[in-house]
Amino acid sequence: MAEISDDIFFATIPELNTALKARKFSAVELARAFCDRLEKFGPRYNALALSLREQAVRQAKDVDGDLKRDRFRGSVQGIPYGAKDLLAVAGHPTTWGARPYAGQIFDYDATAIQKLRKAGALLTGKLSMVELAGGGGYRFAAASLQGAGLNPWDRSRWSGGSSSGAGSAVAAGLVTFGLGSETSGSILTPAAYCGVTGLRPTYGLVSRYGAMALSWTMDKIGPMCRSADDCGLVLQAIAGGDSKDPASAGKSFFYAPQYAPKPDQVRIGWSPADFFEAPEESARPAFKQAVEAVRALGVQMVETRLPDLPYGLVTSTVISAEGSAVFEPLIASGQVDQLADQKQIAGLRAGLEIAAKDYLKAMRIRTEIQQAFRKLFAQVDVLVTPARLGPASKLDQPLDAGANRPMPKDQGLRALIPAGNAAGLPALCLPCGFVDGLPVAIQLVSRPLGENLLLSLGRQFQSQTDWHRRRPKV
């Protein structure tokens, strides 16, 4: 058996793909090594919901057969990955991170899982998540069937929600990439806290068929990876129209960052207050350095801010109303009381009381938000702001502990996570530095279907920095 070094566990998709083609190790050897690592260290971070070793090794044997015959199916062929436990895998438990669904088994695969299998990727495990992807709202990191997601950089810190297991597993080298989901921050937050690169695709670009629904009009499936380049390769494999998802945009995606505009042709909107005043004080030097790294790419930096609209209220109203409607049977049965977080139980019940007029008003304002972004993107091509305003929170603190921290009067782009999700915009999270040994990150946001521009800028940013290559001590 070929020796699999630690470097392999932190290799990028192209690096692993090249090594497989060169027969430095077989796909079976690679799959077994990653399964060993995921099973050994996954529980250390509460990241593993279910090992899929037998299935991964079986598929790896097929990949080896293809490689011997020079049948190349794409960049993710033979690459081990994990999937958030809200994506259905036929014949295996899909728990949605919640006790009431611990025994739930579907007889079909989610579309994203099907596409990756067809491309030859190897699913080595289901990854933990916040229960019901945070539906109803939650106050403590422990709101998960596997317990609080632990950060590989410091296990006294949270890995972020709701795709907590994917963030931890990618950061710790337990999988090469992870599939997560975002309704309002659930890819960007764990990516930022764990120091990995996360991509939230345009709404409708990736099918949600086979994924737990939280908000029919806001849910998105996307990758968490080692680099922007890896995110582009995974997105190409999982994107595409799907008649089984009524919200499908019917669009495919071809990763071609080389055809994106040159940096000097790109206008990036930013707000100084976002980087120099709003972040936690200890994080401001790192964010200042990140702004200078973006500027050094040669882009045009344009001071801008979001229009004054109730982004947070709109997204919370939509998610609460739709999420509680999704889980009405759970609430009516009383099994909602089995959830771990009391705030979430109360929030799900309260969501059923949202009046139709309030939901419809939120949806009307949401149209205004989309129109406001169309006007904004006539002035700039990309927006940049911190992904989170500081490093990962401590596990013993409630997640709303800093809610009353004073903020600058200039709103800047701070509401970009709820605003961007309400408008269905793509976002790319890029590690940009460290604060007391913990990662921090920026996010880039562009107009719908602007993924290639984001990924091109991400590639260039990461070619000039090495924050995404740093590794925690596992």
Q: DSSP 3-state assignment of 457?
A: helix
Q: What is the per-residue DSSP string for 108-176?
A: S--HHHHHHHHTT-EEEEEE--SGGGGTT--SSTT-STT-SPEETTEEEEE--SSSHHHHHHHHTTSSS
Q: Measured between alpha carbons, how far is 358 from 243 in angstroms, rounded to an integer?
A: 31
Report the half-sphere exposure of 268 (CA within 13 A, side-chain side): 28
Q: Is 162 part of the annotated catalytic residue set?
A: yes
β-strands 300-303, 267-270: how paired?
A: parallel
Rounded Cα distance between 81 and 89, Å, is: 13
Give the pair of three-digit tokens for residue 111.
């579309």
Query: Looking at the chain, how many residues does it have?
Result: 474
- SS3 of residue 445 by DSSP: strand
CA dihedral sign, ordered 294, 300, 307, 457: negative
For residue 63 the two structure tokens come to 């990949």
Q: Is the peptide bond before 168 cis (omega within 30 degrees of 0)?
A: no
Going 41 to 44 to 45 to 47, the CA torsion angle's sign is positive
* CB neighbours of residue 457 within 10 Å: 27
Q: Please identify which of the residues 26, 75, 144, 162 carries the catalytic annotation.
A: 162
Active-site residue, selected from the candidate residues 26, 51, 75, 84: 84
Tell me, yes or no, if 84 is annotated catalytic: yes
Considering the candidates 163, 186, 316, 324, report the single residue annotated as catalytic.
186
The Cα 234–Cα 105 span in angstroms is: 26
Question: Mind telling me the catalytic residues?
Answer: 84, 162, 186
